[in-house]
Amino acid sequence: MTLAARLALHPEFTVGETDPRIYGSFIEHLGRAVYTGIYEPAHPLADEQGFRKDVLEMVRELEVPIVRYPGGNFVSGYNWEDGIGPRDKRPKRLDLAWATVDPNWVGVDEFADWARRANAEVMMAVNLGTRDVDAARNLVEYCNHPSGTQWSDLRIANGHPEPHKIKTWCLGNEMDGPWQIGAKSAADYGKTALAAGRAMKAVDPGIELVACGSSSESMATFPDWEATILDHLYDVADYVSLHQYFSKNGWNDRRSEPYGTPSYVAQSVRLESFIKSVVASCDHVKARKRARKSMNLSFDEWNIWHRNPPSGVEIPRASIAPPLLEDVYTFEDVILFGSMMLALLRHCDRVKIGCLAQLVNVIAPIMTSANGPAWRQTTFYPFLHGSKYGRGTVLDTLVVSPSYETAEWGSVPYVDALAVLNRNRSGMTVFAVNRSETQPALLTADLAGFGAARGMTEHIVMDGHDKQAANTRETPHRVTPRSGGESKLDGNQLTATLTPFSWNVLRIALN
């Protein structure tokens, strides 16, 4: 039976404008993200600085505007000074977060160079685990101060006469997590981050700061953590962070059984309730402080993460760049991933920054083999579609859809959808997911409020694959999008068929 779904939308009912940084990503010194991921000097496609040009091309294709660096858990034990200056003098350090060795071949200068080539800004995290105010303010001085001081002159001596002009800074990473090196109580983190943040902004008043929120919605301390840290940090911070990963096998929910497909692909509803709760926490503190400013959200780690640790691979401890967290994404993952992205967009009035965690090799849309090719995972495509066609004004899109019951998350609509008007209002994109594995959905919308719509530009679809189908080195193009979905505009009436279990991008030309 065909499901009937209807969208109610009007150009005056808006959520807000997307901040380009909602399509950000993340590179950590973890596994092969940096070494043999973005950097591999011996690779035939390496540029003069050792960066892989094939990877750079794919990153540019995604139009990622900002990349968080260097961690993640890694940053909480990182001495940034280890990664600057002549390479042969840089120390090899034990990385306690991932039980590996970091040779420091890439540090802040090289990463800033890489990001420029990728057309992206750097979002820099400072170490508030083993270090504090001094290291943090010195790093801002090294990166952003023009010249004439110890650290800025050292950057110049290291071959970077121009400051890196890094605007967005994270005050540590997941400081509530018992796994974090130097994890802190909310009050201790609040005090340390306040001192560090004040000093960092004194060095460069133009920077923006992201305070660490809870490591996920399932932390026992969520949302008290947010309330306490914001009590300390409300004035100095510009954003509070959110992190969330979902898995099929349920490891991160401490389940012994994997989720069935219907519950698995419905988890974006959890993401939305997490966002709403963090917004409520921020607004509660705002009211208590009689503040004028609203705290915005930086969802700076989001993705699907199935395995922990990777199964079947024995990782020798203390090796350099072993394969860690190299999840292979399936077609089934596309359905959840697409809805997760829509959940962020639906709250773009508060979620200004999003970082798909991560970008290359580590739970990533782009995979490489050392000395071999790079390829796009299944989840590369919905992210590409969002980044290319999902910038502009997000419309408050009412979706009327039949739903199904899940044991874990209650009633969930089969169809998830969201419309984005492009910047010059010459076009609109409707993103739509059909979560039903067996039933097609007929999606209709009355576009009368938009003036006469000119016609369908394109209907891109990902559908019809085996749920477990994936792209690998051997079969890099097994799961890709196709053009030519079934949709039409009859006057102002939009009708589109969402095939069972599909991700859809409906591009509409407006007058």
Would you please indicate which residues are annotated as catalytic (active-site) residues?
174, 301
Q: Reduced to 3 DSSP states, what percent helix, strand and coil does the chain have, rounded to the nearest 5?
A: 25, 30, 45
Q: Check binding of 110 to ligand AHR (CB under 6 A).
A: no
- Give the one residue of 72, 190, 322, 365 binding ligand AHR; rule: CB under 6 A: 72
Q: What are the backbone dihedrals phi and psi of residue 69, each rounded to the nearest 5 degrees, phi first?
A: -165, 150
Q: Check binding of 379 to ligand AHR (CB under 6 A).
A: no
Q: Check binding of 213 to ligand AHR (CB under 6 A).
A: no
Q: Check binding of 349 to ligand AHR (CB under 6 A).
A: no
- Give the one residue of 81, 102, 121, 174 binding ligand AHR; rule: CB under 6 A: 174
Beta strands, E only, 106-238: 121-126, 168-171, 208-211
Q: Let me know: does 417 contact 442? Beta carbons within 8 Å.
A: no
Q: Which is nearer to ligand AHR, 95 or 204 (CB)?
A: 95
Nearest distance, CB of residue 281 and ligand AHR, angstroms: 20
Cα(85)–Cα(415) distance, integer angstroms:
53
Q: Check binding of 127 to ligand AHR (CB under 6 A).
A: no
Q: Check binding of 76 to ligand AHR (CB under 6 A).
A: no
End-to-end CA distance of the chain, in Å?
A: 35
Q: Check binding of 207 to ligand AHR (CB under 6 A).
A: no
Token pair listed for 30: 């973890």
Q: Let me know: does 101 contact 47? Beta carbons within 8 Å.
A: no
- The interface region with ligand AHR, picked from 58-66, 69-77, 183-191, 464-472 by CB under 6 A, is 69-77
DSSP H or E stretch at residue 498: strand 493-498
Cα(458)–Cα(160) distance, integer angstroms:
45
Q: Check binding of 173 to ligand AHR (CB under 6 A).
A: yes
Q: Check binding of 71 to ligand AHR (CB under 6 A).
A: yes
Cα(11)–Cα(8) distance, integer angstroms:
11
DSSP state of 379: T
Distance, C-alpha 126 to centroid of its chain: 18
Token pair listed for 252: 């991160």
Nearest residue to ligand AHR, scored by beta-carbon proximity = 72
Beta bridge mates, 174: none
Nearest distance, CB of residue 386 and ligand AHR, angstroms: 20
Nearest distance, CB of residue 467 and ligand AHR, angstroms: 25
Residue numbers 246-275 binding ligand AHR by CB under 6 A: none
- The interface region with ligand AHR, picked from 70-78, 290-298, 387-395, 397-405 by CB under 6 A, is 70-78
Residue numbers 151-170 binding ligand AHR by CB under 6 A: none
DSSP H or E stretch at residue 242: strand 239-246
Q: Which is nearer to ligand AHR, 252 or 439 (CB)?
A: 252
- The interface region with ligand AHR, picked from 68-76, 336-344, 442-450, 453-461 by CB under 6 A, is 68-76
Ramachandran assignment for 126, one of left (phi > 0), alpha (psi -120 to 50 degrees), beta (any other): beta
Token pair listed for 261: 């497909």
Q: Let me know: does 240 contact 213? Beta carbons within 8 Å.
A: yes
DSSP string covering 307-360, please? -SS-TT--PPTT-BS---S-PPPBHHHHHHHHHHHHHHHTTTTTEEEEEEE-SB
Q: Check binding of 504 to ligand AHR (CB under 6 A).
A: no
Q: What x-and-dash track marks residues 275-314 binding ligand AHR by CB under 6 A?
A: --------------------------x-------------
# chain residues binding ligand AHR, by CB under 6 A: 9
Q: Check binding of 357 to ligand AHR (CB under 6 A).
A: yes
Q: Which is nearer to ligand AHR, 357 or 441 (CB)?
A: 357
- Give the one residue of 19, 28, 226, 238 binding ligand AHR; rule: CB under 6 A: 28
Ramachandran assignment for 455, one of left (phi > 0), alpha (psi -120 to 50 degrees), beta (any other): left
Q: Which is nearer to ligand AHR, 358 or 502 (CB)?
A: 358
Residues forming contacts to ligand AHR in the complex (CB under 6 A) are 28, 71-73, 173-174, 301, 357-358
